[in-house]
Chains A and B, each alone.
Chain A
Amino acid sequence: MKRILSVFLFFILLTGCAAPAAQTEPSQAQFFSMDTVMTVRVYDGPGEEAVQAARQAVEELDGLLSRTDADSQLSALNAHAGDGISVPLDSRVTELLAFAKSVSQLLPGDFDVTIAPVMDAWGFTTDQRQVPDPQTLAGALSLVDSGKLEVDKEASTARLEAAGMEVDLGAVAKGYAAGQAAAAIRDAGSSSALLDLGGNVTALGRKEDGSAWQVGVKDPQDTAQTLCVLSMEDQTASTSGGYERYFEENGIQYHHIIDPKTGYPADSGLLSVTVVSENHMLADALSTALFVAGEDAALEFWRSRTNFELVLCTADSRVVVTQGLEEGLRPTGEERGYTYEIARR
């Protein structure tokens, strides 16, 4: 009897060695919005309700902010450029415009929300990508000046001073949408979710087992691989890199992140910039701005602030990670020749 009992106990003990239970299948939706693909996964609470609330929040914003939809509020603002009319806008639009303008002022020359005419000249917002002729580019560049974007948050209006100016919120809209979607998920009663809004990943709360979300950073030189994996909780990771959208002409590759100073694709020595922040909108805006700014300026700006962290991938295959991300960092690109550095304050 004792032998039978001991065998029985042995099996009971062995079952304790089994692999941990897999995470529950989330409620999820994948959909096209803001000219990209978005995925929302909710792991607790009223999952389906939360997913739909998040999707609705994003799609509402898309309707307001689309530059290709002639009926959007952003299109109305652009259509009135130079005619002196202050265009009445939804408070979410003026909040986003004011934020984008503040980033333009914070990082002058590296980010400008009125870059749209230059993007159009390159064809990145149309079906025909091309290297613009110098005259066209100079004309478009002369229209880039966020100082001539007037935003009145109290009256919820905005005005573009010069005819031909246009605002494009592509560098901040997904971050703002992440914040709105996260709020919608929480309001629905869920607290554990992952949002992937076109490569901007927002980790809401923690995983069901209480651990932090693990978010990989795409290798800009081999997008099937990752540079590293980060631990995240209630943060957004936003990545900008020239590998995302580009075209080739006469053997030269041109990517879509335009340097407002030159009107040409940024050539700062960085292949990608990932910004991690609890401020979703800031993460989105800074990933673009600091990609243009380059490694030294990006780290200098990081040292002057405490509300974001960085992963910089340089053209000479260094991965520079700021110290706030050190805990939980897992490098994954050594075999592909990457070296890793921790930047400290």
Chain B
Amino acid sequence: MRSPAADRRRPTLWDGLTALLVATAAFLLLAALQSEPGESLTAAVTLDGEILAEYRLEEITQPVTLTLDELSYPLTLLVEGDGVSILHSDCPSQDCVHTGKITQAGQQIICLPNRLIVSLTGTHDLDFDAVTG
């Protein structure tokens, strides 16, 4: 026995609405799956494991300096909307200054003599799990 729907040759209003609903849902869902989330970076400054300061870089509209005079080797950080760098350090090695500006999630600036680490974390997934070097 053939169903009434099978007998119909022309699409009804319901068919159109269903097709529209499916197309809209597919578009919204695929757009959500494919969209890259905006990179939202957070810089954390830790001293021997304790967090000294945190900055959400998207909220930094003017460069911010953070001077840490109480460290064994005083240093000054520069926090900008697109990254963090060490402006100045009193330590003799200057390795942290040489690191330059870090701008991507997963990057760190390390000051060994002070046991200080500046880490960037973010929403954007890196396409690797670790970095050697």
Among the stretches B22-30, B51-59, B60-68, the one at the interface with A is B22-30
Known: A31-B49, A32-B48. A194 touches B129 (CB 8 A): yes
Size of B's binding interface in residues, CB under 8 A: 40
Complex Cα distance A207/B113, Å?
34
Which residues in window 30-73 of B have CB below 8 A to A? 30, 33, 48-49
Complex Cα distance A200/B107, Å?
15
> Is there an interface contact between B132 and A201, defined as CB atoms closer than 8 Å?
yes
Size of A's binding interface in residues, CB under 8 A: 49
Known: A17-B33, A35-B112. A245 touches B93 (CB 8 A): yes
Chain A 203-234: CB-based contact to B (< 8 A → 1; otherwise 0): 10001000001111110100110100100000
Could you say which residues of chain A place their CB within 8 Å of the CB of B26? 10, 14
> Is there an interface contact between B33 and A3, defined as CB atoms closer than 8 Å?
no
Chain B 92-107: CB-based contact to A (< 8 A → 1; otherwise 0): 1111001111111001
Complex Cα distance A214/B106, Å?
14
A186 CB–B CB distance under 8 Å: no
Could you say which residues of chain B place their CB within 8 Å of the CB of A218? 131-133
> Is there an interface contact between A14 and B29, defined as CB atoms closer than 8 Å?
yes
B117 CB–A CB distance under 8 Å: yes
Could you say which residues of chain A place their CB within 8 Å of the CB of B18? 3, 6-7
Q: Smallest CB-CB separation from A127: which chain B residue?
A: B92
Chain A 107-136: CB-based contact to B (< 8 A → 1; otherwise 0): 000000000000000000001110000000
Complex Cα distance A274/B112, Å?
23
Could you say which residues of chain B place their CB within 8 Å of the CB of A19? 33
Known: A11-B25, A129-B92, A224-B107. A217 touches B132 (CB 8 A): yes
Which residues in window 15-64 of A have CB below 8 A to B? 17-19, 30-32, 35-37
> Is there an interface contact between B95 and A200, defined as CB atoms closer than 8 Å?
no
Q: How close is A64's CB to chain B, nearest CB, in angstroms?
A: 20
> Is there an interface contact between B131 and A226, defined as CB atoms closer than 8 Å?
yes
Sample (5) of A-B pairs whose CB atoms are under 8 Å apart: A18-B33, A37-B117, A194-B130, A199-B131, A274-B133
Residue ranges of A at the interface with B (Cβ–Cβ < 8 Å): 2-3, 6-7, 10-11, 14, 17-19, 30-32, 35-37, 127-129, 194, 196, 199-201, 203, 207, 213-218, 220, 223-224, 226, 229, 237-239, 241, 243-247, 272, 274, 330
